[in-house]
Amino acid sequence: MKYRQGGELANMIDVVRAKIKPLNELLQVVAELKRQGKRIVFTNGCFDLLHAGHVSYLAQAKSLGDVLIVGLNSDSSVRALKGSERPLVPQDDRALLLASLAFVDFVVLFDELTPHRLIEAIKPDVHVKGGDYTEADLPEAPLVRSYGGQVVILPKVEGRSTTDLVQRIRRGISAVPVKSAVGIIPARYTSVRFPGKVLALLWGKPIVQHVYERARQAKTLSDVIVATDDERVKSVVESFGGKCVMTSPEHPSGTDRIAEVTRQLNCDVVVNIQGDEPLIVPEAIDAAVQPFFADPTLKMTTLATPIVDESEYTNPNVVKVVVDRDGFALYFSRSPLPFFRPKGKMAETPQFKIPEDALVKPLRHIGLYAYRREFLLQFAQWSPTGLERSEGLEQLRALEHGVRIKVVVTPYRSVGVDTPEDLERLERSKPM
């Protein structure tokens, strides 16, 4: 390998340093760029411990215009914002790292806590912000709009923030990549309302075959296995070329059944795929697995979809979930969640209605779960908890033990087959 000479390396670094400019020099450059009709994009932040989340964010920001300017908080402003232990990397090094990125055109340092002075001077066409902000609570948004600029909020990438990274370092948690995820379909023959439903024919195929074939299309799964306690199910699955593992008939739940299979597997993530949902879409499975690739601290995920009908909101057979600002479950319930307080005096008998101006959309829980393997095995050992038994919802066991469940909101709406009537209705519909 031929190494560059010292002079060449110094020239390369000088080119990078030239992108770091004081505000007065930058404004001269901006004026010329605007005369050329260039679209100026501006973003700002601390960018302490530059990581892949920053790179993705800045690349998206650059795609919104022709020139990307990054306002970088100085060391003093980072300390004022984040505390005395930050920044971990001094401002000159942070500026150099940012400037070395091909899609960052200029870097400018500032001492204030907010970028108002820079925005007022530069007047970018687009101001980009990411993370937990909304345009409504972004302090500089009115300033940008006052001169006709555009505000764009880019979504936070879970597990890819400096705060997450610092916390992991302090706790000694390494970023273990997800190498494999396996989908397991619990499929017992016995069913109180519909015995043998997993083998019932739908459009000429057993229901379990529809589920298996659709799960196999998920891009994140390296394997799909059916877990059953009945030889009839095993025989049918193997007849269409599927994998099937026999499990104990004593398991009280599908989670216990997949835990038995998981003990025999060498994988990182396990997905519990309901065996009676023949219309499961592969994208829904991928949506549940994807957060594990970004966040090594994650133990469990599930899905939800916005409630579109008030009858769903009040139906105890439809499980509702409320989430925090980071998308983690606060609670699951068969009761309407959240309760929307009516205007005026509140009656003693509650009226469960979704107001037209509701600040949050109620979410319907979808019973598809993904677990980190080690956590699933631990979860299966825990005894049912009080709230779990009261609501009849197994996922509450995790919440009662203090485990955070990531809820991924998806447009997918599950269609389960619980009764022969459900199957008849589905049979009359057009195959999907």
CA terminus-to-terminus distance, the chain = 56
Q: Which domain holds residue 63?
A: 9-167
Please, which residues bridge with residue 405 across strands? 300
The reply to whether 4 falls in a domain is no
Q: Can you count the helices (H) and strands (E) in the chain? A: 17, 16
The reply to whether 2 falls in a domain is no
Of the candidates 277, 259, 260, the one whose C-alpha atom is nearest the C-alpha of residue 202 is: 277
Q: Residue 176's pLDDT band (boundaries 50, 70, 90)?
A: low
Average predicted confidence (pLDDT) for the chain: 88
CATH number at residue 205: 3.90.550.10
Domain boundary, last residue among 167, 191, 216: 167
Note the pLDDT tens digit of each residue in 26-68: 999 999 999 999 999 999 999 988 887 888 889 999 999 999 9
Angle, in degrees to the nearest 10, between helices 6-17 and 91-99: 100
Angle, in degrees to the nearest 10, between helices 207-216 and 231-239: 50
Count up the domains in the chain and report the number: 2
Of the candidates 197, 369, 382, the one whose C-alpha atom is nearest the C-alpha of residue 270 is: 369
Domain boundary, last residue among 167, 191, 220: 167
* Distance (Å, whole) CA 377 – CA 371: 9
Domain boundary, last residue among 167, 196, 217: 167
Res. 12: pLDDT tops 90: no
The reply to whether 241 falls in a domain is yes
CATH number at residue 142: 3.40.50.620
Average pLDDT over residues 93-115: 95
Question: Taking the CA of residue 266 as centre, how many other CA atoms within 13 Å lie in the half-sphere pointing to its CB?
Answer: 0
What was the pLDDT predicted at 220?
A: 92
CA 120, 128, 63: angle at the middle one, nearest 5?
120
CB neighbourhood size of 279 (10 A): 19
Burial 104-120 (b: 16+ CB within 10 A, else e): bbbbbbbeeebbeebbe
Q: Residue 2's pLDDT band (boundaries 50, 70, 90)?
A: low
Which residue, chain included where needed, has tokens 């795609």? Answer: 63
Of the candidates 395, 319, 398, the one whose C-alpha atom is nearest the C-alpha of residue 364 is: 319
Phi and psi of 399, rounded to 5°?
Answer: -65, -40
